[in-house]
Structure 1
């Protein structure tokens, strides 16, 4: 892991300016170029505002100046809202004046293609030359609640601003960012910082995340992402947030092929393989939300500051049916609805003889006859049941005035008696004032049972992620690979990867029939033979493989057959010879591969292998390099993991040997990320018991 980036101090001025210039400021507060000035005035910006408009003496009641060079002081920030052809002059003037940052709302740059790309390059050059940090272009701006700086034109603020609070928003899309701001205000969800990054000519989402992660007044960061250009910087930003125990809730669009194309076009971003983004989020602890409602639910829930480190979930319900529904949801969201220990069950049964006491705990409505039983029940479930999280389904009981306050206080007492640090989520239907009283008491409250369990899963995701030690180097070494030709033959690829720690059979390369027969005799029958050529990857398809060769006569025939088949199908192929190897022991076939993602670099793929890999697509990805602990986690993620554990009487396979191979390949890929485009071990056969692992084929595609 590379050292974490130190945030640029100019971003402090950007979010908390003492003065701001609005270039192109309009006297009409409804126009895009008039909205930022109107918002700054309406929502209490305490600093000095300098409208820049050469055609007017005043703008919206404030003295106007002809250019950025004319205000009597150096503004901390310049908001630029002029047509694209005038933006370059404004940025140049900002540099001459000494302005630290500029928010460029103008469009017509890289997102438009053509001349816009060159225009954006010149924009970047002028910014660097003048020492001006740039937000945008093609962005909607930003705001900071603490400084009352509303440097944006989003119409979502027309009806008011969201309350101040611990949420920060980073959005590559201005429209989505504005939508989130509007919904946050409707929910009463507090936002302290909000930034739209647009084309990211300079400041990107990664830098914004890193800066926000180190702010004491930020508790959670909600991110809308269309693509990432600088993968290492983005990963360092997520690592910074995790080290600071700041949850990052990401809405990453472009999951479908059509969506990825649209995302790339919209922001001029390079969208990597979606599965690789999933791997990055998982490795660095970000949570990927699928819907806007989910993103807001989880961001809001993070403000409670309770992040379970165990996925054990206790469910208490007044309805057995909903208990089953929540169990189904728990499986979806990675939670363990384990039964309570027997002593805890017995204690609860003595208290509530009419209840189902395993888990879910169905108290039935009878428990409502005695609030002290409610409190004692929850205390036993949380303390003796060993659950870090609780979801309780209360139906509409809190809506009844006879129960509302009493029930709330009983639940509070029960949770407090169990230690008070457990996560308690309630599912109920009640009037807004009743729900508010529960939320004010510190509970997370939802009407839908699935949403309630989903939030627990997300908070547990963060709790477990925060326990991960960051910044540790991956032990071990790997050989350096220097390619001197195109795709390597299998024989050469095996020699390279063998040095990296990948196990192979003892094989011989035979260039003619006599050598093949001699090699087979020395190895010992039965043997396998296959063609060796850098130009032939799918050997079986052209008859380039013969298995179970039992004697010298069959060995000679096999050599002739292979050569005849290959010459018939690929007469011009450059052939190194035939590889002679002992027949491999039986085992489970897996695939290990490396691809070089254009954004994040080398990524290791693992899944069930052989010829079925393209059909089953049961694969998972991790960013290289990683250790054997991550390799084991990677193995367990595939759906077919139970096959490796042994099914229907079959013994367990050597998963530990598999993990060693994965970690070794990841180290090799990371060290040689500049010289390897991809590699494949397919199949990598995993043997039973402690028999190890053997790679039966290898392909390396160099990068030049």
Structure 2
């Protein structure tokens, strides 16, 4: 946070654009600073006023003799540039531009924003905005903001920092959380993010000891890699990030001709990033509230098994249904646990999971029995978490249960959650006790289940990334590809299949046995085993089948000679001006399952590896998974496990299981190659990638170099 300390903890603030008009942004900012007891110096700026709200009012920023940490700008867009020039002249480090009228308004606004950024950069001024509501530091009473962020109710102090590209909607998240009693550290609306963006602020807040959890609403980022790095740092630091991605239905704007590029959209890349960082995706206001409540306990499920205990059978069923959809399950209780429960659960109840305590069980007289039941459930080795269904239990019963849970909670590392649908006006005292004990309460069993799933996924990802990082340190990157990269850089378009497969083989991806045949040179064909495939080799014909440039099932030498002549003839007719290098003859793969694998070098996220069902399933299922490169074998296995076709790889209807481990190794190798070659490869398409009983084989491949202007 050091480089943004003056922005987030300013000792002095100048506000440009104050006025007697109460609705003016600058006026709102000064009044909010005064009303909330800001202890730093405030300098209103407007040449028309000698004073404003009892403070000396200055004609310009440069007229202020004292040091200014932050200038809040609330003047019309056309006047912003002049104010920024004054900030630069005074060497003000930060400006918060509330004003709209920039790139969101069209061509003139775009030009104005570019000029604004140029002035700021030349003058060493860092910017929040423009077109934003500003920022608030609740702990230090800093209100460099206007609009809803300055109005009642005042947010209470806490450990949550909120970042939002949309000020109005983003603040709705803050208000929903505030109604649930959640406190805040910072609320920052970033607007157009002309300079300082959400990712940079996440990085700063990770260094802020008072920020325990970060919530962000974004519509997009220009640097997916920076978000990936920030997400991993947050995971290592144990600071959860809850992220709401707006615009999830928009497809990525990539003009690509391969199968790989059409298998995903930009939102898929965000989802891949979430899985690789532990960033928790939210998409509803109540999810922000629920997950913040859950993470506040800093306790994580020790496995996906949950014990459900309460007085409502229907609540248990709803929890179980919702839990199964998100990977949580009711665990089996061992015999010792059930024996302990039998002594404290009524005979008409149930000591298996869900544990039925029967109606009226939650009362003062049963507190000792309830405590024994809860401790028995938490001690069960299969239990990763505990859900107590109070359901409609009233005031006295809820208080009795809360008193027991308050005693038990400090003695366990397993999370305890509570479902209560009783009105807060009736059970408020119990809710207060549970909150003080760090036990989240949810208004529905389904929401309790989903909150536990979020905790479990975060905890698992944290362990997975730590373990994989250790293994990746031992894992070689793409193998001997130096010469291959040179050939890519020197190329002028798509590489041929022969060149592409040679490069991928050097990168550690097994390929079929091939012989490259040119006019008058058929050496080596005798070493191949029939049946064979013959394919024309041309950097100008990326899709050979459409050109009639492929013949399969070649059974003998006579058929092979005929096939070679035929594919060459077809290719010349299809593309008379194409460069034709020869024919690639390959051993035909007669078994296994076809996958499509490849790389898209996205302008925001960099190289992304995609894998999906191939062959007849490619269009039928639309079945794919992706991750940001590079990654290890564990992540590659997770990708394969996400595919609908995954069960086929294990062998179905008597078929032998296929080599999933080899497929995972190939994907990991592809990811390292993609990362090493990110400056010179735009795309890779392996179609098909055969998974067989004892390995994988790339039967066809295409490597597309970047345009020469893109090479670094």
Is TM > 0.5 for Structure 1 vs Structure 2? yes
Aligned mates of 2:245, 2:269 — CA distance in 1? 12
Name the counterpart of 1:579.
584
Aligned mates of 2:122, 2:573 — CA distance in 1? 63
Per-residue CA shift, 1:255-277, capped at 9, x if unaligned?
1128999xxxxxxxxx9811101
1:3-402 equivalences under 5 Å are 7-9=1-3, 11-257=4-250, 273-308=266-301, 310-349=303-342, 351-352=344-345, 353-365=347-359, 367-368=361-362, 370-397=366-393, 399-401=394-396
Per-residue CA shift, 1:196-251, capped at 9, x if unaligned?
11111211101111111111111110000111112232222223322221100000
Name the counterpart of 1:267.
none
After TM superposition, give the deviation of residue 349 of structure 1 in Å.
4.6
Aligned mates of 1:260, 1:297 — CA distance in 2? 34
Secondary structure at the counterpart of residue 331 of structure 2: coil
Check whether the contact 1:253–1:260 (CA below 8 A) recurs between aligned residues.
Answer: no
Per-residue CA shift, 1:468-512, capped at 9, x if unaligned?
329766531321313212011111100111111111121112235
1:299-698 equivalences under 5 Å are 299-308=292-301, 310-349=303-342, 351-352=344-345, 353-365=347-359, 367-368=361-362, 370-397=366-393, 399-401=394-396, 403-415=397-409, 419-432=411-424, 433=428, 434-467=430-463, 468-469=465-466, 474=473, 475-478=475-478, 479-480=481-482, 481-482=485-486, 483=488, 484-512=491-519, 520-688=525-693, 691-698=694-701
Check whether the contact 2:598–2:684 (CA below 8 A) recurs between aligned residues.
Answer: yes
After TM superposition, give the deviation of residue 339 of structure 1 in Å.
1.8
Check whether the contact 1:219–1:302 (CA below 8 A) recurs between aligned residues.
Answer: no
Check whether the contact 1:395–1:427 (CA below 8 A) recurs between aligned residues.
Answer: yes
Check whether the contact 1:367–1:373 (CA below 8 A) recurs between aligned residues.
Answer: no
Aligned mates of 1:232, 1:547 — CA distance in 2? 42
Check whether the contact 2:251–2:265 (CA below 8 A) recurs between aligned residues.
Answer: no
Aligned mates of 1:645, 1:349 — CA distance in 2? 42
After TM superposition, give the deviation of residue 179 of structure 1 in Å.
2.0
Secondary structure at the counterpart of residue 124 of structure 1: helix
After TM superposition, give the deviation of residue 638 of structure 1 in Å.
2.1
Aligned mates of 2:133, 2:675 — CA distance in 1? 38
Check whether the contact 1:21–1:52 (CA below 8 A) recurs between aligned residues.
Answer: yes
Aligned mates of 2:124, 2:688 — CA distance in 1? 54
Secondary structure at the counterpart of residue 283 of structure 2: coil
Secondary structure at the counterpart of residue 683 of structure 2: strand
Per-residue CA shift, 1:143-174, capped at 9, x if unaligned?
00111011111235322311011110000111
Name the counterpart of 2:705.
702
After TM superposition, give the deviation of residue 407 of structure 1 in Å.
2.0
Aligned mates of 1:695, 1:259 — CA distance in 2? 27
Check whether the contact 2:73–2:80 (CA below 8 A) recurs between aligned residues.
Answer: yes
Aligned mates of 2:521, 2:339 — CA distance in 1? 75
Name the counterpart of 1:3.
none
Q: Is the deviation greater in 659-668 or in 642-651?
A: 642-651
Q: Which TM-score applies when normalising by structure 1?
A: 0.91
Aligned mates of 1:492, 1:348 — CA distance in 2? 68
After TM superposition, give the deviation of residue 368 of structure 1 in Å.
4.5
Secondary structure at the counterpart of residue 394 of structure 1: strand
Aligned mates of 2:334, 2:521 — CA distance in 1? 67
Secondary structure at the counterpart of residue 160 of structure 1: coil
Q: Is the deviation greater in 157-166 or in 661-670?
A: 157-166
For structure 1, the residue ranges without an aligned partner over 5 or more in a row are 1-6, 262-270
Residue correspondences, number = 680
Check whether the contact 1:315–1:359 (CA below 8 A) recurs between aligned residues.
Answer: yes
Check whether the contact 2:291–2:451 (CA below 8 A) recurs between aligned residues.
Answer: yes
Q: Structure 1 residues 282, 45: closer, same or farther in 2, change over 3 A?
A: same
Check whether the contact 1:157–1:182 (CA below 8 A) recurs between aligned residues.
Answer: no
RMSD: 2.5
Q: Structure 1 residues 317, 684: closer, same or farther in 2, change over 3 A?
A: farther
Q: Structure 1 residues 338, 572: closer, same or farther in 2, change over 3 A?
A: farther
Check whether the contact 1:83–1:107 (CA below 8 A) recurs between aligned residues.
Answer: yes
After TM superposition, give the deviation of residue 631 of structure 1 in Å.
1.5
Q: Structure 1 residues 63, 414: closer, same or farther in 2, change over 3 A?
A: closer
Q: Is the deviation greater in 493-502 or in 334-343?
A: 334-343
Per-residue CA shift, 1:60-95, capped at 9, x if unaligned?
232111000112311111101111121112112112
Q: Is the deviation greater in 167-176 or in 325-334?
A: 325-334
Secondary structure at the counterpart of residue 165 of structure 1: strand
